[in-house]
Amino acid sequence: MSAENKPPKIAVKALSKSFKAAKGKLLPVIDGVDFDVAEGEFVAIVGPSGCGKSTLMNILAGFEQPDAGSLALDGKPHPGPSPQGIVISQHGSVFPWLTVQQNLMFGLDARASGTANAELADHYAAMVGLKGFENAYPHELSGGMLKRVELARAFIVKPEILYLDEPFSALDALMNLRMRNELLRILAEEKHTVLLITHDVDEALYMADRVLVLSPRPTRIQARFELDMPHPRRLISPEMDQLREAILKELGLEMPA
Protein backbone atom coordinates (compact mmCIF):
# COMPACT_ATOMS: atom_id res chain seq x y z
CA MET A 1 0.00 0.00 0.00
CA SER A 2 1.46 3.40 -0.94
CA ALA A 3 1.90 6.18 1.60
CA GLU A 4 -0.92 8.21 -0.03
CA ASN A 5 -3.62 5.61 0.49
CA LYS A 6 -2.38 4.35 3.83
CA PRO A 7 -5.29 4.42 6.31
CA PRO A 8 -5.06 6.92 9.20
CA LYS A 9 -3.45 5.70 12.41
CA ILE A 10 -6.74 6.31 14.22
CA ALA A 11 -10.08 6.67 12.44
CA VAL A 12 -13.11 7.61 14.52
CA LYS A 13 -16.53 7.64 12.84
CA ALA A 14 -19.90 8.67 14.27
CA LEU A 15 -19.08 7.51 17.82
CA SER A 16 -21.93 7.69 20.29
CA LYS A 17 -22.23 6.63 23.90
CA SER A 18 -24.87 6.88 26.62
CA PHE A 19 -24.77 5.69 30.21
CA LYS A 20 -27.65 4.34 32.29
CA ALA A 21 -28.49 7.01 34.82
CA ALA A 22 -30.87 6.96 37.82
CA LYS A 23 -34.36 5.48 37.31
CA GLY A 24 -33.26 3.72 34.13
CA LYS A 25 -32.96 6.99 32.22
CA LEU A 26 -30.22 7.27 29.60
CA LEU A 27 -27.53 9.91 29.94
CA PRO A 28 -26.26 10.73 26.44
CA VAL A 29 -22.56 11.55 26.71
CA ILE A 30 -21.08 11.31 23.20
CA ASP A 31 -23.20 12.27 20.24
CA GLY A 32 -21.51 11.51 16.92
CA VAL A 33 -17.80 12.21 17.08
CA ASP A 34 -15.72 11.96 13.87
CA PHE A 35 -12.02 12.54 13.39
CA ASP A 36 -8.86 10.96 12.00
CA VAL A 37 -5.35 11.08 13.42
CA ALA A 38 -2.36 10.61 11.11
CA GLU A 39 0.65 8.55 12.13
CA GLY A 40 3.01 10.68 14.24
CA GLU A 41 0.43 13.42 14.73
CA PHE A 42 -0.20 15.04 18.13
CA VAL A 43 -3.89 15.80 18.56
CA ALA A 44 -5.24 17.56 21.65
CA ILE A 45 -8.90 17.37 22.63
CA VAL A 46 -10.21 20.12 24.88
CA GLY A 47 -13.70 20.48 26.26
CA PRO A 48 -15.72 21.83 29.15
CA SER A 49 -15.83 19.99 32.46
CA GLY A 50 -18.00 16.89 32.40
CA CYS A 51 -18.58 16.94 28.63
CA GLY A 52 -17.33 13.38 28.12
CA LYS A 53 -13.58 13.74 27.54
CA SER A 54 -12.57 10.77 29.68
CA THR A 55 -15.39 8.65 28.27
CA LEU A 56 -14.14 9.43 24.77
CA MET A 57 -10.56 8.58 25.77
CA ASN A 58 -11.70 5.29 27.33
CA ILE A 59 -13.43 4.37 24.08
CA LEU A 60 -10.41 5.39 21.99
CA ALA A 61 -8.07 3.33 24.19
CA GLY A 62 -10.45 0.35 23.94
CA PHE A 63 -11.56 0.22 27.60
CA GLU A 64 -15.13 1.17 26.85
CA GLN A 65 -17.38 0.14 23.95
CA PRO A 66 -19.32 2.80 22.02
CA ASP A 67 -23.06 2.29 21.46
CA ALA A 68 -22.68 3.25 17.81
CA GLY A 69 -20.01 4.28 15.36
CA SER A 70 -16.63 2.79 14.65
CA LEU A 71 -13.01 3.04 15.71
CA ALA A 72 -10.16 1.71 13.58
CA LEU A 73 -6.39 1.60 14.09
CA ASP A 74 -4.38 1.37 10.87
CA GLY A 75 -7.63 0.63 9.05
CA LYS A 76 -8.53 -2.35 11.27
CA PRO A 77 -11.46 -2.39 13.72
CA HIS A 78 -10.24 -1.79 17.26
CA PRO A 79 -11.86 -4.35 19.55
CA GLY A 80 -10.27 -3.50 22.92
CA PRO A 81 -7.10 -2.46 24.75
CA SER A 82 -4.05 -3.36 22.70
CA PRO A 83 -0.30 -3.28 23.28
CA GLN A 84 -0.20 -0.73 20.43
CA GLY A 85 -1.32 1.96 22.88
CA ILE A 86 -0.42 3.13 26.38
CA VAL A 87 -2.58 5.33 28.59
CA ILE A 88 -1.18 7.88 31.01
CA SER A 89 -3.81 9.49 33.23
CA GLN A 90 -3.81 11.96 36.09
CA HIS A 91 -4.25 9.12 38.59
CA GLY A 92 -0.87 7.50 38.06
CA SER A 93 -0.19 3.81 37.77
CA VAL A 94 3.27 3.22 39.23
CA PHE A 95 3.52 0.07 41.39
CA PRO A 96 4.50 1.23 44.92
CA TRP A 97 6.17 -2.09 45.84
CA LEU A 98 8.59 -2.02 42.89
CA THR A 99 11.70 0.14 42.43
CA VAL A 100 11.98 2.56 39.51
CA GLN A 101 13.99 0.01 37.55
CA GLN A 102 11.53 -2.81 38.35
CA ASN A 103 8.58 -0.59 37.39
CA LEU A 104 10.22 0.14 34.05
CA MET A 105 11.03 -3.52 33.44
CA PHE A 106 7.46 -4.59 34.25
CA GLY A 107 6.07 -4.20 30.73
CA LEU A 108 9.09 -5.70 29.01
CA ASP A 109 9.27 -9.17 27.57
CA ALA A 110 10.22 -11.45 30.49
CA ARG A 111 11.74 -13.89 28.00
CA ALA A 112 14.45 -11.36 27.14
CA SER A 113 17.63 -11.40 29.20
CA GLY A 114 17.25 -9.80 32.64
CA THR A 115 20.47 -7.86 32.14
CA ALA A 116 19.31 -6.48 28.78
CA ASN A 117 15.97 -5.43 30.29
CA ALA A 118 17.68 -3.80 33.28
CA GLU A 119 19.99 -1.88 30.93
CA LEU A 120 17.02 -0.75 28.85
CA ALA A 121 15.20 0.35 32.04
CA ASP A 122 18.25 2.34 33.16
CA HIS A 123 18.49 3.94 29.70
CA TYR A 124 14.87 5.13 29.88
CA ALA A 125 15.26 6.23 33.53
CA ALA A 126 18.18 8.41 32.41
CA MET A 127 16.17 9.69 29.44
CA VAL A 128 13.54 11.17 31.78
CA GLY A 129 16.13 12.54 34.21
CA LEU A 130 15.99 9.78 36.83
CA LYS A 131 19.59 8.63 36.62
CA GLY A 132 20.71 7.63 40.11
CA PHE A 133 17.14 6.80 41.19
CA GLU A 134 16.90 3.39 39.51
CA ASN A 135 16.74 1.60 42.87
CA ALA A 136 14.47 4.10 44.61
CA TYR A 137 10.91 3.17 45.57
CA PRO A 138 7.97 5.39 44.53
CA HIS A 139 7.45 6.72 48.09
CA GLU A 140 10.98 8.15 47.91
CA LEU A 141 10.11 10.22 44.81
CA SER A 142 8.33 13.55 44.29
CA GLY A 143 5.12 13.84 42.26
CA GLY A 144 7.07 15.10 39.26
CA MET A 145 9.55 12.23 39.50
CA LEU A 146 6.66 9.75 39.63
CA LYS A 147 5.27 11.25 36.42
CA ARG A 148 8.70 10.78 34.87
CA VAL A 149 8.60 7.10 35.85
CA GLU A 150 5.22 6.83 34.17
CA LEU A 151 6.47 8.52 31.01
CA ALA A 152 9.52 6.25 30.93
CA ARG A 153 7.30 3.22 31.52
CA ALA A 154 5.15 4.25 28.59
CA PHE A 155 8.04 4.98 26.23
CA ILE A 156 10.04 1.85 27.10
CA VAL A 157 7.45 -0.41 25.45
CA LYS A 158 7.61 1.77 22.33
CA PRO A 159 3.85 2.23 21.97
CA GLU A 160 2.56 3.37 18.61
CA ILE A 161 -0.06 5.52 20.33
CA LEU A 162 0.14 7.46 23.58
CA TYR A 163 -3.23 8.25 25.14
CA LEU A 164 -2.74 11.10 27.61
CA ASP A 165 -5.75 11.90 29.84
CA GLU A 166 -4.85 15.10 31.71
CA PRO A 167 -1.50 13.47 32.52
CA PHE A 168 0.11 16.42 34.30
CA SER A 169 -2.92 18.08 35.88
CA ALA A 170 -2.05 16.91 39.42
CA LEU A 171 1.39 18.57 39.21
CA ASP A 172 2.22 22.12 40.24
CA ALA A 173 2.50 24.72 37.45
CA LEU A 174 6.30 24.61 37.22
CA MET A 175 6.50 20.81 37.13
CA ASN A 176 3.63 20.75 34.64
CA LEU A 177 5.67 23.00 32.32
CA ARG A 178 8.78 20.87 32.81
CA MET A 179 6.89 17.69 31.96
CA ARG A 180 5.47 19.25 28.78
CA ASN A 181 9.02 20.07 27.67
CA GLU A 182 10.19 16.61 28.66
CA LEU A 183 7.43 15.00 26.62
CA LEU A 184 8.17 17.16 23.57
CA ARG A 185 11.88 16.38 23.86
CA ILE A 186 11.23 12.63 23.91
CA LEU A 187 8.71 12.89 21.05
CA ALA A 188 11.34 14.69 18.96
CA GLU A 189 13.63 11.67 19.49
CA GLU A 190 11.03 8.89 19.19
CA LYS A 191 8.04 9.65 17.01
CA HIS A 192 4.72 8.46 18.42
CA THR A 193 1.10 9.27 17.66
CA VAL A 194 -0.34 11.19 20.61
CA LEU A 195 -3.88 11.89 21.74
CA LEU A 196 -4.04 14.34 24.63
CA ILE A 197 -7.20 15.08 26.60
CA THR A 198 -6.94 18.31 28.55
CA HIS A 199 -8.98 21.15 29.96
CA ASP A 200 -5.89 23.37 29.73
CA VAL A 201 -5.97 25.31 26.45
CA ASP A 202 -2.35 26.45 26.86
CA GLU A 203 -1.19 22.84 27.29
CA ALA A 204 -2.85 22.04 23.95
CA LEU A 205 -1.41 25.15 22.26
CA TYR A 206 2.08 24.36 23.54
CA MET A 207 2.25 20.80 22.26
CA ALA A 208 -0.36 19.80 19.69
CA ASP A 209 -0.40 19.78 15.90
CA ARG A 210 -4.18 20.02 15.98
CA VAL A 211 -6.76 20.96 18.62
CA LEU A 212 -10.29 19.58 18.62
CA VAL A 213 -12.78 21.46 20.76
CA LEU A 214 -15.64 19.43 22.22
CA SER A 215 -19.09 20.83 22.91
CA PRO A 216 -20.86 20.44 26.27
CA ARG A 217 -22.49 17.03 26.92
CA PRO A 218 -23.72 15.21 24.89
CA THR A 219 -20.50 16.06 23.21
CA ARG A 220 -19.53 16.41 19.57
CA ILE A 221 -16.65 18.15 17.88
CA GLN A 222 -17.53 21.80 17.78
CA ALA A 223 -14.37 23.26 16.22
CA ARG A 224 -10.99 22.17 14.85
CA PHE A 225 -7.78 24.22 14.85
CA GLU A 226 -4.54 23.44 12.99
CA LEU A 227 -1.31 24.57 14.69
CA ASP A 228 1.30 24.61 12.01
CA MET A 229 4.06 26.00 14.24
CA PRO A 230 7.49 24.65 15.06
CA HIS A 231 8.68 23.75 18.56
CA PRO A 232 9.68 25.16 20.98
CA ARG A 233 6.68 27.46 20.95
CA ARG A 234 6.16 30.76 22.69
CA LEU A 235 2.76 30.90 24.34
CA ILE A 236 2.79 34.68 24.15
CA SER A 237 2.65 35.87 20.55
CA PRO A 238 -0.05 37.56 18.45
CA GLU A 239 -0.72 34.26 16.62
CA MET A 240 -1.04 32.28 19.88
CA ASP A 241 -3.18 34.98 21.48
CA GLN A 242 -5.55 34.81 18.53
CA LEU A 243 -5.78 31.02 18.66
CA ARG A 244 -6.25 31.00 22.45
CA GLU A 245 -9.02 33.55 22.15
CA ALA A 246 -10.74 31.58 19.38
CA ILE A 247 -10.58 28.31 21.35
CA LEU A 248 -11.75 29.93 24.59
CA LYS A 249 -14.63 31.50 22.66
CA GLU A 250 -15.64 28.05 21.43
CA LEU A 251 -15.57 26.95 25.07
CA GLY A 252 -17.93 29.79 25.95
CA LEU A 253 -15.30 32.02 27.55
CA GLU A 254 -15.13 35.44 25.97
CA MET A 255 -11.94 37.39 26.72
CA PRO A 256 -12.49 40.98 27.87
CA ALA A 257 -11.93 43.47 25.02
Ligand X SMILES: Nc1ncnc2c1ncn2[C@@H]1O[C@H](COP(=O)(O)OP(=O)(O)OP(=O)(O)O)[C@@H](O)[C@H]1O
Q: According to CB under 6 A, which one of 15, 37, 52, 194 is a site residue for ligand X?
A: 52
Under the binding rule (CB under 6 A), the answer on residue 199 touching ligand X is: yes
In whole angstroms, what is the distance from residue 127 CA to residue 121 CA? 10
Q: According to CB under 6 A, which one of 2, 5, 22, 49 is a site residue for ligand X?
A: 49
Closest C-alpha among 84, 40, 33 to residue 62: 84
Name which of 7 and 216 has its Cβ closer to ligand X.
Answer: 216
Q: According to CB under 6 A, which one of 10, 11, 12, 29 is a site residue for ligand X?
A: 29
Identify the H or E element spanning 119.
helix 114-127
In whole angstroms, what is the distance from residue 191 CA to residue 2 CA? 20
**164 beta partners:** 88, 196
Show the binding pattern over residues 90-119: x = contacts ligand X (CB under 6 A), - = does not: ------------------------------
Question: Within a 10 A sphere around the Cβ of 78, how many other Cβ atoms?
Answer: 20
Under the binding rule (CB under 6 A), the answer on residue 50 touching ligand X is: yes
Name which of 50 and 81 has its Cβ closer to ligand X.
Answer: 50
Under the binding rule (CB under 6 A), the answer on residue 54 touching ligand X is: yes
Q: According to CB under 6 A, which one of 51, 60, 151, 152 is a site residue for ligand X?
A: 51
Alpha carbon separation from 157 to 35, 39, 239, 246 (Å, rounded) = 26, 17, 37, 37
Write out the residues near ligand X by the rule CB under 6 A.
19, 27, 29, 47, 49-55, 199, 217
